[in-house]
Structure 1
Amino acid sequence: MGNSWRISVLIVLLVAGLSPGNLLSAGEPDPAAGYDHLINKTYLPPYFDQETFDSLWKIWPEPLKSQAARATPDERRQMAFDRYGLTGRPEDPTKPLQYVVDQRGNWTLNCFSCHGGEIDGKPVPGLPNNRFDFAGITDEVRLAKVMLGKRLVSTDYSSLVFPMGDNKGTTNAVNFGVALISLRDKDLNFVPTASFPKMLHHDMDAPPWWHFGQKENLYIDGFAPKGHRALLQFTMVRSNDADSFRQREEDFRDVYAYLSSLEPPKYSREIDTQKAEAGRIVFNNHCSECHGTYGEEASYPERIIPIEEIKTDRARLDALSPEHREVYGQSWFNQYGEREGLIADPKGYAAPPLNGVWASAPYLHNGSVPTLWHLLHPEQRPKIWRWSSKAYDHQRMGISVEALDVVPKGLSAIDRREVFDTSRFGKSAAGHDFPAALDEEEKDDLLEYLKTL
C-alpha cells in the first residue's frame, strides 16, 4: 500500500489526541510516528517566527510588494509559499510541509525542505522539492528580521559566507555535511581546535525518498551504508551536543521506517498501454542492467557506474575525498565502522532506481536536465533554461521550461535562481549518453513506459 493510508491513520490519531507510537509495542519502529516526528518535532534551533514570515512581503520588490499589500493574509501566505518553494501539508494545506511551526509560532526547518515537493498542484512528502529556494528565503528572512529589529541567529550569518544553492530546488547539501562533521570527533563531541576543511562547493538535486527502501547504501555515489543514524547527520549544528543524537535515535528509527514505507505517486493521466509495453522491452534491453527491473519480479542492482563511463558532471564525486568518507564511516553515524559496505572511493555514481521517475524532474544528480525527453535526447538538452511555469509538462515529462541563448541581464537574485546555466561549475548537463543508441520510436515508447513506473 502507498503512503496515503499512513497519513490518514496519522490524522485520525492526532484528532483523537493519541500518539501514533502508542499503538505499537515499545521499540518497534512506526512509520506514522516517523512522519509525525518530521512535521511536529524540532531537531534544529528555531530560525524565525510567525511575525517575521508574515512580514516578508514588506521587503519584496515592486510590483509584488503592492500586490501583497492589497491581498488578504491567506493570499499573502500563498504568495510567500510560491516565492520560496513551500507547500502545504497533505493533511493541512495551511501549514508548511517544509517547516515545523510550534505553538509559539517559531518556524524550524525540517527534512521536507528538500524532500517534500509538489506535482500537478499536489504536495507529496518524499518528492524532491524542485522549487525550494533556500538562499532566497534565508536572504529575505534576514532582511525582514533587521526591519523588525529581531535578533539574528547563526543561519542568518552563515548564509553570508556559505553557499546555500545557486538554483531553486538545489542545495550545497554535501558540503553542509562535510563542514558539520569536520568540527566533531567520532563520538560527535565538538573539537575546540577543529576547523573547516577545503571544500568544493557545488549544488545537488535531492533524490526521491521513495527510493530509500530499495537501497543498501545512500547518496548518489552510494558510499554510505544505510542506517537510521545516518539520517541525523544534518542536525549537527552547534546547539546539538553529542548526547542529543543518542536521545533522538529512537525517533529516527521511526523516520527510517517511514522512509522505507514510501511509494511513488502514480502518473495522473492516461497511458498508452501498447506503447508502454513496447517501451518495457526497450527498457529491459537497454536500461535494466543499471536501473533494475520493475513489476512482479522487480530487482535493483545498485550498480556504481564509473565516471569515465557515465560522463556526467564530476563535481559531486570530487567534493568528497576518500578521507571525508572514512571520517563518516568511523563515526557514531556508521556505528564506528561496524556497519559493512562503506565505499571510500566509489569512482563514479550509483544508477538510481526509476520508480516514480516521471515525477522527479529535473534530472541527473545536479538537476541540469529539465525533462525526461531531454534526458533521452542528449544532443538537444538546453544549455541555458528557466522555468516557464509551475505546470507539469506532460508532453516532455518534466518541468515546463523555456530555452535561452544567454542569461538575461538585470534579474533579481531570486529570479536569477530560476535560470539554469549548464556552463557553470558543477552544473553540466553532459553525460548519460546511452539513449543515443535508440531510434526515435524506441525513445517515444520508452517515455511512455517510464510513466508506468
Structure 2
Amino acid sequence: MRRLFPALVFSSIALLTACGGGSSGGVPASNTGGNNPGGNNTGNEPGSTQEFELLASRRGGHYWHDFCAGKPDSTVVPADPREMVVPGVNAGKAVLMNAWWQTCQQDNHPGTCGELRRRDAEGLALVAAEGRPGAASMFAGDYSTSMFSFAAADYAEMWDSIWNLDERPAQFDELVAQRWGMPLSAVKNPYPLPGEDPNTSNGGSGQLPMGVTQLREADGTWTGQLNVTCSICHGGGVGTAQDGEGLGPMYGTNSLSDITVMFTDLARLAPQQAALAIIAQNKVRGTGNITNFQLFGTLTLADFQTLPGYLSVQAEPSTGTEDPPVWWNVGSRTAKFYDGAQKVDAKRIELSFHFPDFFNDLEGAKAWVLANQQDGDAWISGLKSPEWPEGKLGEIDTQLAEAGAVLFHAKDLWAAGLNNPSPRPEGGNGSCASCHGAYSPKYANDSAYLDSPLLEGVASYITPIDIINTDRARLNGNSERVQEYSKENWFAYSDGPYNDDGVSLCGNWADPSLRQEVELGYLAPPLYGVWATAPYFHNGAVPNLEAVLDPSQRPEIWRRNSVAAPAGLEGQVVMGFDYSLDTGFDEQTIGWRYEELACEAGTSLPIPLIGVTIPLVDCNPVMDDGATLQDGLALLWGNGGLAWNLLNVPIMTDAQIEERKIYNTNYYSQGNSGHEFTAVLTAAERRAIIEYLKTL
C-alpha cells in the first residue's frame, strides 16, 4: 500500500482531533490495545504498552478455520467465539449486540481440526456441486436421480429450441451463463455434447455455469442428466481470476442471476420444471425472494397437520425483492436473514433447497438434512472474502484508510452540532462500528469496544426499523401470523427445545416470546469484503457505497450495465450484467456502473389473455389522488404474498428479459430509503471511510 497525505486527510485528521479520539455517550475510546488477544475481558490493561495496527482484516470466514490453519488434525478446536453473544455481552461498550447466540445442534462442535477439515471437504462437494462426487441438487439430496433433472442433450440444443438461432454459436456455454446471469464455473463442471459419452470423456467437453451440475452415481459414473444447485442464487462473479486472489466466479454472492428466466427456459426442456417457472422467484435481475414464507411452506406440506397454518399465511405480505447476502460473512454472524429471525446455528434451512423427495418420504428427507447439515455449514462458514485488487483498481491510500478506520470506529454520528435527524440507537458510541462490529485490531483489542478480541468482526445488532428506516416489506412479511405458523414448521425447529412459553429457541425470533425487548428491525451485516458486494441494502436498491453513505446520490430508477453481445449476434441473444473490473466496476464510488432512467422511459408489457399492462417504470398517475398502478400493485402484494409469486408476467420475449434489468425503487419492496444517519458525514469523511472499507 502506498502512503499519501493529500489535503483530504488533513481535513479528516482535524475532525478526529476535534472528537477527542471519538469518545461519546460515556463510552471511552482508548488509543492502546490489549495484551492478551486470546482471552476474555482483556482489552487495554493499565500500563499496557502494546499497540495494535489500524489496518488488518481476517476477511471473514470462521474463527475455527483460522485457528486450525497449519495445525495437526488432532488439534482440539476451541469454543465458537459467537457463543459469547448472550444477554449482557458488551454492556456499556462501543459495539452493540442484541442478536443472541443459540445452540441448535448436538453435534455442532467439530471436536478436532481433522473433523473440521473433513466437514469442509464434504460441504464443498455437497453445496458447490459442479459435478463433484457427492454433489447435491434441487430437491434431490446428493442422489444420482431426480424428478427435476433434464437431459444434457436438451440443454445443449437451447440455441435452437429456445433462442431460435440458425446454428450453434461457438460461445454457447458462455451465452447460457450470460442469459441466466451465473458465471461459468472456475473448475471443470462438464456436460456431454450431443453424441458424447460422458463416461468416456470425463463428463463431457461442455462447461456448465456454476448453478448447474451433472448428476453422478455413488461410484462416480456420470449420468448425462443435469439439475440446478444453490448457486443459482448464491453464486456470482467479481472480475476475473487474473485480477487477484479470490476474484472471478465466486461462491456465496450473487447480484447477477435471473432465476425466473432460467426456470422459464428449463420449463421448455423439462415439463416438471414448469411448477417453478410460473413462480416469480425474482422480479429484477440480480435479486431473489429467498425468504418467501408463502412458498417455503410447500416443503413441509407432506406434514399434513401443518396445512391449516400454511394456508393462513397466503394473504400475509410478500417479503418481496431481496439481495442474497454473502456467505463469507456467515461465520461472523449470530443470526440468519436480514431481520435476524433465525439463529445462525439453526442449520436445517441451509439445505432446504436440496430437501429430497419430501412428498414421498418426508422423514427420510429430514434424516438426509440432519446427516449433512454440519458438512454444508462448515464449508459455507469457512469461505473468505476477496481482497481489494490493488494491481487492478489502484493501491489503497494507507494514510487515508487509517483516518477512515478511526472515523468508522470512533466518530459519533449524533455528536453535538451534527443535528442528526435520525433517531439514535440506545447505547454504543454512535459510530459505524456500533452496529456493524469492530474490525481494526486497534479497536477489537480495546476493552472499551469488545468484551473479547475474539469478537472481532462479529456483527450481531438488530437495528430498530425506526432507526435504520430501510424498506419495510421484508420485515412486514415476517408477520405475526407467519410467526405462529413457524411454530409448526420443521425447518423452524418445531421439535424444540422450547422456552417457558413453548416456543422453540431455534425458531422464528421475530416472535415476541423470544426477542422480548429487542425491537424489530434489520441485522447490521458484517462488512468483510463489502467492496465486492454491490448493490447494497437488503433489497439491492443502492448501486454503490458512496450512495449508501450519502442518500442524496441514490438513483430512483437505474439499470446496471450489460456485456456487449458477440459480433454477429447483436439483438439475437441476451447478455448479462458486466462484472468486469475494467468496464463494469466504478472504483471511485465502489459499486457497479449503471445508467439512470427517467420514470417515463419504460415500456408496458401485456399480460396475454387478460389485456392488462404492467408498466415497469411508468410513474404516471392512474387515479385522481395521484396513485399509480405501481401503488395499486404494492397494496396487493403487501396483503398477499402468494400474489407476488403467481401474478407474474410470463416471460415470452428477449425484450422482457431486458426490462427485468431495470431496478425501480418505486416498486413494492424496492425502496432505497434508510441509513440516512450517515448524511451528516462530510465528503472528506466519506472518502476516508470508503478507503478503509476497501481494506476489509
Bin the TM-score by the shorter chain: 0.7 to 0.9
C-alpha spacing 1:299/1:131, structure 2 compared with 1 (3 Å): closer
Q: Secondary structure of 1:242's partner?
A: helix
Q: Which residue is 1:180 aligned to?
A: 296
C-alpha spacing 1:26/1:280, structure 2 compared with 1 (3 Å): closer
C-alpha spacing 1:193/1:362, structure 2 compared with 1 (3 Å): closer
Question: TM-score, normalised on structure 2?
Answer: 0.56
Say whether 1:293 aligns with 2:441.
Answer: no
C-alpha spacing 1:159/1:238, structure 2 compared with 1 (3 Å): farther
Query: Partner amino acid for 2:530?
Result: V
Q: Which residue is 1:56 aligned to?
A: 158
Q: Which residue is 1:35 aligned to?
A: 124
Q: Which residue is 1:343 aligned to?
A: 509
Contact 2:251 2:327 in 1 (8 A): yes
Residue 340 of structure 1, CA deviation: 3.1
Aligned pairs for 1:213-228 (under 5 A) are 213-226=331-344, 227-228=346-347
C-alpha spacing 1:134/1:47, structure 2 compared with 1 (3 Å): farther
Q: Secondary structure of 1:104's partner?
A: strand
Say which of 363, 366, 379 aligns to 2:539: 366
Say whether 1:211 aligns with 2:309.
Answer: no
Output the CA distance in 1 between the equivalents of 2:591 and 2:462. Answer: 25
Q: Secondary structure of 2:522's partner?
A: strand
Query: Partner amino acid for 1:278?
Result: A
Q: Greater CA radius of gyration, 1 or 2?
A: 2
Q: Secondary structure of 1:349's partner?
A: strand
- Larger RCO: Structure 1 or Structure 2 (Cα < 8 Å, ≥ 6 residues apart)? 2
Q: Which residue is 2:264 aligned to?
A: 139
Residue 190 of structure 1, CA deviation: 4.1
Output the CA distance in 2 between the equivalents of 1:182 and 1:60. Answer: 30
Output the CA distance in 2 between the equivalents of 1:362 and 1:420. Answer: 11
Residue 300 of structure 1, CA deviation: 2.7
Output the CA distance in 2 between the equivalents of 1:120 and 1:317. Answer: 33
Aligned pairs for 1:109-128 (under 5 A) are 109-121=228-240, 122-128=247-253
Residue 35 of structure 1, CA deviation: 0.9
Q: After superposition, give the CA deviation of every residue in 1:245-302 in whole Å (9 maximum; x if it has no partner).
A: 2123222210111112111111112211111111111111230000011133224341
Q: Secondary structure of 1:274's partner?
A: helix
Q: Which residue is 2:317 aligned to?
A: 200
Percent identity over the alignment is 28
Contact 1:128 1:205 in 2 (8 A): no
Aligned residues: 420
Contact 1:59 1:140 in 2 (8 A): no
Say which of 365, 372, 377 aligns to 1:244: 365
Q: Secondary structure of 2:458's partner?
A: coil
Residue 110 of structure 1, CA deviation: 1.4
Q: Secondary structure of 1:170's partner?
A: coil
Aligned pairs for 1:338-417 (under 5 A) are 338=497, 340=505, 342-345=508-511, 347-389=520-562, 390=578, 391-406=584-599, 407-409=601-603, 412-417=655-660
Aligned pairs for 1:311-330 (under 5 A) are 311-328=469-486
Q: Secondary structure of 2:548's partner?
A: helix
Residue 49 of structure 1, CA deviation: 2.5
More helix per residue: 1 or 2?
A: 1
C-alpha spacing 1:446/1:294, structure 2 compared with 1 (3 Å): same
Contact 1:183 1:191 in 2 (8 A): no
Q: Secondary structure of 1:436's partner?
A: helix
Residue 239 of structure 1, CA deviation: 5.6
Q: After superposition, give the CA deviation of every residue in 1:153-190 in whole Å (9 maximum; x if it has no partner).
A: 0x313432x32211111112222x443326737xx734
Q: Secondary structure of 2:691's partner?
A: helix
Q: After superposition, give the CA deviation of every residue in 1:195-244 in whole Å (9 maximum; x if it has no partner).
A: 54224331111000011111121100001112322313334564662321
Q: Which residue is 2:374 aligned to?
A: 253
Q: Secondary structure of 1:92's partner?
A: coil
Residue 42 of structure 1, CA deviation: 2.9
Q: Which residue is 1:272 aligned to?
A: 397
Task: Please say which of residues 226-235 and 372-381 is displaced more in the overlay.
Answer: 226-235
Residue 306 of structure 1, CA deviation: 1.3
Output the CA distance in 2 between the equivalents of 1:108 and 1:70. Answer: 22
Contact 2:385 2:529 in 1 (8 A): yes
Output the CA distance in 2 between the equivalents of 1:258 and 1:440. Answer: 40
Q: After superposition, give the CA deviation of every residue in 1:331-386 in whole Å (9 maximum; x if it has no partner).
A: 43354231636522452111111111111111000111111112122112000100
Q: Structure 2, unaligned stretches of length 5 or more?
A: 1-57, 66-109, 130-134, 140-145, 190-206, 216-221, 241-246, 412-430, 445-455, 498-503, 512-518, 563-577, 579-583, 605-653
Q: After superposition, give the CA deviation of every residue in 1:92-143 in whole Å (9 maximum; x if it has no partner).
A: 2633321221222322221121111100134444342111111111122223
Q: Which residue is 1:169 aligned to?
A: 286
Task: Please say which of residues 95-104 and 373-382 is displaced more in the overlay.
Answer: 95-104
Contact 1:326 1:344 in 2 (8 A): no
Contact 2:478 2:510 in 1 (8 A): no
Contact 1:363 1:375 in 2 (8 A): yes
Q: Structure 1, unaligned stretches of length 5 or more?
A: 7-20, 146-150
Q: Secondary structure of 1:33's partner?
A: helix
Output the CA distance in 2 between the equivalents of 1:327 and 1:248. Answer: 21
Q: Secondary structure of 1:343's partner?
A: coil
Query: Partner amino acid for 2:377?
Result: Y
Q: Secondary structure of 1:100's partner?
A: strand
Question: TM-score, normalised on structure 1?
Answer: 0.84
Query: Partner amino acid for 2:461?
Result: R
C-alpha spacing 1:362/1:348, structure 2 compared with 1 (3 Å): same
Query: Partner amino acid for 2:175?
Result: M
Output the CA distance in 2 between the equivalents of 1:385 and 1:416. Answer: 11
Q: Secondary structure of 1:375's partner?
A: helix
Task: Please say which of residues 97-106 and 383-392 is displaced more in the overlay.
Answer: 97-106
C-alpha spacing 1:193/1:206, structure 2 compared with 1 (3 Å): closer
CA RMSD, Structure 1 to Structure 2 (Å): 2.9
Output the CA distance in 2 between the equivalents of 1:179 and 1:435. Answer: 36
Query: Partner amino acid for 1:394?
Result: E
Residue 24 of structure 1, CA deviation: 8.7
Q: Which residue is 1:12 aligned to?
A: none
Residue 43 of structure 1, CA deviation: 4.9
Aligned pairs for 1:65-84 (under 5 A) are 65=165, 69=167, 71-72=169-170, 75-84=171-180
C-alpha spacing 1:181/1:409, structure 2 compared with 1 (3 Å): closer
Q: Which residue is 2:105 aligned to?
A: none
Output the CA distance in 2 between the equivalents of 1:452 and 1:192. Answer: 48
Contact 2:546 2:553 in 1 (8 A): no
C-alpha spacing 1:419/1:238, structure 2 compared with 1 (3 Å): farther
